[in-house]
Structure formats: structure tokens, C-alpha cells
Structure 1
Amino acid sequence: MRTIRDHQRGRVYAWEQRVIAPHDPTRIAREQAQAMIDAIWADIGLRYPPKVAALPVQAKTLIGRADRLTIELAPRVPSWCLLHELAHSITSSVEGDSDGHGALFLAAYFFLLQRYLRRDPGELRQSAAQAGLNVGSEFSVADQAFRP
């Protein structure tokens, strides 16, 4: 697994709390998340969606984390959090390589926020720029290499 420093992580979390969370009060039970992930994965033309699992009991402050194969979730998560973790899964490889919270991740996350939460792309990019976030260019699912 290749590890890189995740320079934007804190800024992404702060931006989410200011810009995304206040506009999406919806919460999803972990038991319902797999069906949503499967539907989104198929809708964007992908195969082999990641599987949902429970976060370990010792994860007291996390509400979610993901890699290419698994999305671990708390018992109930905001829908934007599910999309956040799904963006991690989309931009990670089976080998464990990940963009962290970098430009590719944010481009994928913005794609999901626009498509499934109907967030305005101009507002997302403007607020991200104001927060000092580096967002990649338009995200294309076809550009991602997906393997079972």
C-alpha cells in the first residue's frame, strides 16, 4: 500500500461541516446502506460494489471509513457521509492506493453530491476554493480503473 500525506483532510472535514452537513439532515441506517451503494454503483456504470461492514467498537469518533472493497459505517450516518465514503471507494484501488482527500477524491465526491444530493456544482467549487481546497477537474467514472 502506498501512503501519502493527506494534506487536505482537515480542511475537507471543516468544509463539509460548514457547507454540506447543514443542508442534508437525512440519516441512513447501516442495514440500508448496502442497497443504496449497490444502486449508486450500478447507476454510474460500475460493477463489484464495496461491501458494508460495521466500524470496530473501539472506533469512538469515526462515523465511516472506506477503501475499494469495504465501507465501514456507524449504525446511522448522514447521507452525505455515505457519499463521502463512496467517493473514497471509487478513488481507491484494490491494492490499497488512495488519493486520500486529494483532488481526485474531491472531484468524485462533488460528482456524487451533484448527482444524488442535487448540490449546485458552481456553489460546491466556489465554497471549496474559499476553503483552500484543491479539487480535480470534472470527474469521469470511465477514467477509473475498476477490477473485481
Structure 2
Amino acid sequence: MTETRARDAQRQRVYAWEDRVIAPHGGGMIAFAAAQPMVDAIWAELGLRFPPKVEPLPHQARRRIADADRLRLRLPAACPPWVLLHELAHSLTSTAEGASDGHGADFVGLYLQLLIRYLRLDRARLLASLDAAGIAVNLDARPRFLDRPA
């Protein structure tokens, strides 16, 4: 359990950074029905196969707006684009066996790549804001499941 806490030590800093820096650029909302085609398209653009499945977030989920692992993204009826990208970064930094980077440097690195590519946010501004927030980022992050032997 200690490893999980240490691994996700950035969680609250990432959430605060998102609220301050990313959420204001959220744009419109993505309807649940549009999420799977978007996930499929982004996954394919990244050169990956077998994208995670988009499922409804359970109604009893009160403390989270979405969640994800390698095999699924659970989303509400509608969400801002940055939420979908956040959860997609979780899918990219997880394995089917449940190993995850949490909100670590690899997660932030892949999330940053998605924000730049799909929301067209300025890389230099994002890097400066991450540094100011004390958030570690791996600029060379790759999907975690690609690092596993075949």
C-alpha cells in the first residue's frame, strides 16, 4: 500500500494544476456517445491497437467525474475534452494486469502530449506551469504496455 501512495504522490498537485491551467481551456462538452469514436481515433493516431472501451460512470460515483485503466474509460453523460484526455493518459500508463503510474511523471508526460496535440495548448506555457506547481513530468513517456516484452 505504501508503494501506491508514493507512486501517486502528485495526485492532488495534478488536480489543482488542471483546475487552474487546463480547465479554463475546456471548450464544449463531449457527449458520452461521441467518446468511443474519439478514443478509437486518438488510439489509432498514436499507432496503437485495441483501444479501451468507454463505459458509463456508475451513478453511485459521487467523488469522481471519471476514471480509467488500460481496458476501459468510465465517463459521465458528458464531460469536457480535457477530462477525456486525462483518462486516456491513465489508460496509456496502465497495463491490463492493473499496474499504473497513477499521476506520476509518465502520466503527466503523456497527458501533456495529448493536451498539446488535441487541445492545441502551448507546450512552453504548460511546462512552465507544471514546473511552478512542482509536478514531475517525463517528456519521453511512452504507453506503459509498450515497454513490456512480447
TM-score by length of 2: 0.91
Change (3 A) 1:69 1:103: same
Whole-angstrom CA distance in 2 between matches of 1:14 and 1:27: 20
| Cα distance in structure 1, aligned partners of 2:125 and 2:143 | 22
Q: Secondary structure at the match of 1:71?
A: strand
Runs of 4+ in 1 over 6 A off after TM superposition: none
SS in 2 for 1:144: helix
Corresponding residue for 1:47? 49
| Post-superposition CA distance 1:20-76 (Å, at most 9, x none) | 010122210111100000000001100000000011111023211000000000111
**TM-score, structure 1 normalization:** 0.92
Q: 1:69 to 1:93 in 2, by over 3 A?
A: same
Deviation at 1:122, TM superposition (A): 1.0
- Unpaired runs of 5+ residues, structure 2, are none
Q: Is the 8 A contact 1:91 1:144 kept in 2?
A: no
Alignment of 1:1-148 (within 5 A): 4-5=4-5, 6-140=8-142, 144-145=146-147
C-alpha distance in structure 2 between counterparts of 1:142 and 1:98, whole Å: 8
2:144 and 2:84 map into 1 onto residues whose CA distance is: 21
The alpha carbon displacement at 1:145 in A equals: 3.8
Tell me how far 1:143 sits from its aligned partner.
8.2
CA distance in 1, matches of 2:49, 2:145: 14
Distance 1:141 1:70, change over 3 A: closer
Q: Which residue type is aligned with residue 61 of structure 1? A: R
Could you tell me which runs of 5 or more consecutive residues in structure 1 were left unpaired when the two chains were aligned.
Answer: none
CA distance in 2, matches of 1:75, 1:47: 26
Is 22-31 or 68-77 further displaced after alignment?
Answer: 22-31
Tell me if the contact between 1:71 and 1:89 (Cα under 8 Å) persists in the aligned partners: yes
SS of residue in 2 equivalent to 1:53: strand
* Backbone CA RMSD of aligned residues: 2.0
Alpha-carbon distance in 1 for matches of 2:37, 2:45 = 12
Number of residue pairs matched by the alignment: 146
